[in-house]
């Protein structure tokens, strides 16, 4: 080969090599950046062209894709028992919610943890394959919880159960729900209109806002668990400290803060354990007044109140709150006064909480004061079974001292054995009742918050239902049945 031809050949090889390097760089390293660039309209055109991964729980497929036989959409989305699981799975229709949103890139196969491993497949034009998402949810317990909540009230009800050692959410249920099949890609314009209709609902029942972690309620006397923890951790009290359970006249209005009864432990004085077991409002109103609203706010923050946090990426529970001030009817800022502080001490006034938040309170009691970070997704695997994500239990907070938690365990057992929830004796659960007034003409928020089993607890829970009556009868029996299923 003469010299000029050799030079041309070498130059051509260098050009070819450079082209290969550039293509590999673009297809591999830059694929995710280019895909998500706001100027790239193909990301919106292709959203229904490839199958999404499955969402599963304990081996059950809860959400999956299937070919429609059409050009648009090429793939539909099918949900099993959508009304039951939508508070966790959410929906997908191009837009998404809940886990479908939080793990969208992995489910669609466009996450860099997948594309970086499969750059050659992309180079040869092979379609992305979505990863499968496995939930921490217990399907049987979730189904039971939905049925019990739905049948218990015509208004709102919610439940949450978490593993106190890991933070894994086993139940996150809501009586207010919707079927994501009704808004899935294959429903087209009809589904889009349905979603718009659901999103526009402004009554008491709002199906897109689940009652497990996205809706708050006044926690009532179940909040006395937080107040008791504050009293023992910071005010030098213990479960045996005598407390005044006699009549309490509120300092600003001169009105009384009543007990549900004025006998037994609520008849004048009692150890804190007795006042807790019989839910004496006056004792915990006084503790709140002694501490002040700022202290109550700060101590509740250790449990997760007054904080915004993610349970999964882009998925935040509604903020539970113990407000120092609030916006009044005239639109001006109003400080929580002394009367409001006393009422806050019994979970009324402007105190609000989700069932998930109150389950976290119970988890602190059952786990030596520690709350583990709650999570919904256990792991994510690719089609070849490679694990690209695995839940790693992490500490959310040390909400109280270990010794305080031990005393509160005994106090929650006393609620069932000798206090306001004796109807639950023998059911394998301990906890705190709550019956919160919600205003004239609005039914009570009925709570039972606690742990199971009664000894060596593994699960923490909270159940709330709206209706007449109290937490012991309106929420307690439901909690017992749900936890019996979780423990199986």
Poorest-pLDDT segment among 5-19, 104-118, 215-229, 231-245 = 5-19
How much is the pLDDT for 123?
Answer: 52
- Cα torsion through 114, 61, 211, 91, rounded to 10: 60
Please tell me the distance from the alpha carbon of residue 116 to that of residue 31, in angstroms, as a whole number: 9
At 119 the pLDDT is 52
Q: What is the pLDDT of residues 121-177, one digit of tens each?
A: 555 455 668 999 999 999 999 999 999 999 999 999 999 999 999 999 999 999 999
Higher pLDDT among residues 305 and 125, named by residue = 305
Q: Please give the angle made by the CA atoms of 83, 55 and 317, to the nearest 5 degrees.
A: 65
Give the mean model confidence (pLDDT) for residues 323-334: 89
Q: What percent of the chain has pLDDT over 70?
A: 88
Contacts 24+ apart (CB under 8 A), 115-120: 115/28, 115/31, 115/32, 116/28, 116/29, 117/382, 117/386, 119/24, 119/27, 119/28, 119/31
The reported pLDDT for the residue numbered 383 is 87
**Residue 14: predicted pLDDT:** 66
Please tell me the predicted confidence (pLDDT) of residue 328.
83
Stretch 29-50: mean pLDDT: 53
Tell me which of 65, 97, 108, 221 is the catalytic residue. 221
In this prediction, residue 41 carries a pLDDT of 35
**By percentage, how much of the chain surpasses pLDDT 90?**
82
Average pLDDT of the residues of the chain: 91
pLDDT at residue 3, as a whole number: 66
Q: What is this structure's pTM?
A: 0.90
pLDDT recorded at residue 46: 67
Distance CA 232, CA 240 (A): 10
Residue 258, C-beta contacts closer than 8 angstroms, at least 6 positions apart: 281
Alpha-carbon distance 460 to 451, whole Å? 4
Mean pLDDT for the stretch of residues 13-28: 58
Please indicate whether residue 38 is annotated as part of the active site: no
Q: Per-residue pLDDT averaged across 42-68, rounded?
A: 86
Summarised one tens digit per residue, pLDDT across range 266-297 is: 999 999 999 999 999 999 999 999 999 999 99
pLDDT tens digits, one per residue of 360-410: 999 999 999 999 999 999 999 998 889 999 999 999 999 999 999 999 999
Query: Which pairs with CB-CB distance under 8 Å and at least 24 residues apart come from 325-331?
Result: 326/350
Residue 327: pLDDT band (50, 70, 90) is: confident
The answer to whether residue 43 scores a pLDDT higher than 80 is: no
Output the pLDDT for position 42: 42
pLDDT band, very low/low/confident/very high, at 38 (cuts 50, 70, 90): very low
All domains of the chain, ordered by start, with CATH?
A: 210-377+393-486 (3.40.710.10)
Antiparallel, parallel or unpaired: β 132-135 and 55-57: parallel
Q: Are 371 and 358 in contact (CB under 8 A)?
A: no
Which tens digit of pLDDT belongs to each residue from 58-78?
Answer: 999 999 999 999 988 999 999
Q: How far is CA 329 from the centre of its chain?
A: 30
Check whether 255 has a pLDDT greater than 90.
Answer: yes
How far from 409 is each of 163, 306, 448, 457, 463, CA to CA, in Å?
Answer: 16, 25, 15, 9, 18
* pLDDT value at residue 122: 52
- DSSP assignment letter at 353: B
User: Residues 370-383: pLDDT tens digits?
Assistant: 999 999 999 999 98
pLDDT class of 36 with cuts at 50, 70, 90: very low
Is the predicted pLDDT of residue 184 greater than 60, yes or no? yes
Condensed to tens digits (0 to 9), the pLDDT of residues 421-469 reads 999 999 999 999 999 999 999 999 999 999 999 999 999 999 999 999 9
pLDDT at 44 over 80: no
Residue 232 CA to residue 230 CA, distance in Å, equals 6
Query: Is a pLDDT exceeding 80 seen at residue 118?
Result: no
């Amino acid at each position: 080969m003469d010299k000029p031809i050799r030079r041309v050949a070498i130059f051509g090889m260098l050009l070819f090599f450079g082209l290969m390097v550039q293509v590999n760089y673009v297809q591999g390293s830059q694929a995710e950046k280019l895909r998500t660039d706001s100027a790239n309209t193909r990301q919106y055109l292709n959203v229904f062209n490839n199958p999404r991964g499955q969402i599963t729980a304990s081996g059950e497929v809860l959400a999956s894709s299937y070919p429609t036989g059409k050009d648009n959409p090429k793939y539909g989305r099918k949900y099993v028992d959508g009304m039951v699981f939508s508070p966790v799975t959410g929906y997908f229709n191009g837009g998404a919610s809940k886990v479908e949103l939080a793990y969208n890139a992995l489910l669609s196969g466009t996450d860099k943890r997948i594309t970086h491993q499969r750059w050659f497949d992309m180079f040869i034009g092979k379609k992305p394959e979505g990863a499968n998402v496995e939930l921490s949810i217990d399907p049987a317990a979730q189904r039971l919880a939905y049925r019990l909540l739905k049948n218990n009230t015509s208004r709102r009800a919610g439940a949450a159960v978490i593993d106190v050692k890991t933070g894994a959410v086993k139940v996150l249920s809501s009586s207010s729900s919707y079927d994501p099949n009704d808004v899935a890609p294959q429903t087209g314009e009809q589904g889009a209109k349905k979603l718009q209709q659901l999103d526009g609902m402004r009554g008491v029942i709002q199906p897109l806002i689940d009652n497990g972690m996205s809706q708050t309620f006044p926690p009532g006397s179940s909040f006395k668990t937080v107040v008791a923890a504050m009293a023992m951790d910071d005010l030098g009290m213990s479960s045996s400290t005598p407390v005044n359970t006699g009549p309490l006249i509120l300092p600003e209005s001169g009105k009384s803060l009543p007990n549900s009864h004025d006998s037994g432990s609520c008849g004048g004085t009692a150890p804190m354990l007795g006042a807790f077991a019989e839910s004496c409002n006056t004792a915990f109103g006084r503790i709140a007044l002694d501490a002040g609203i700022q202290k109550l706010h700060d101590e509740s923050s250790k449990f997760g109140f007054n904080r915004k946090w993610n349970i999964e990426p882009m998925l935040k529970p509604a903020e539970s709150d113990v407000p120092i001030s609030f916006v009044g009817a005239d639109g001006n800022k109003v400080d929580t006064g002394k009367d409001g502080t006393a009422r806050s001490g019994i979970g009324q006034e402007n105190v609000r909480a989700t069932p998930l938040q109150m389950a976290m309170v119970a988890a602190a009691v059952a786990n030596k004061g520690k709350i583990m970070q709650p999570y919904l997704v256990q792991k994510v695997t690719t089609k070849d079974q490679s694990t690209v994500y695995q839940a790693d239990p992490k500490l959310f907070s040390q909400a109280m001292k270990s010794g305080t938690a031990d005393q509160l365990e005994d106090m929650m057992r006393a609620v069932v054995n000798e206090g306001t929830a004796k109807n639950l004796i023998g059911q394998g659960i301990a906890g705190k009742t709550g019956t919160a007034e919600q205003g004239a003409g609005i039914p009570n928020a009925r709570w039972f918050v606690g742990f199971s089993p009664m000894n060596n607890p593994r699960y923490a829970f909270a159940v709330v239902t709206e209706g007449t009556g109290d937490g012991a009868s309106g929420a307690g029996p439901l909690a017992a049945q749900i936890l019996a299923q979780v423990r199986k």
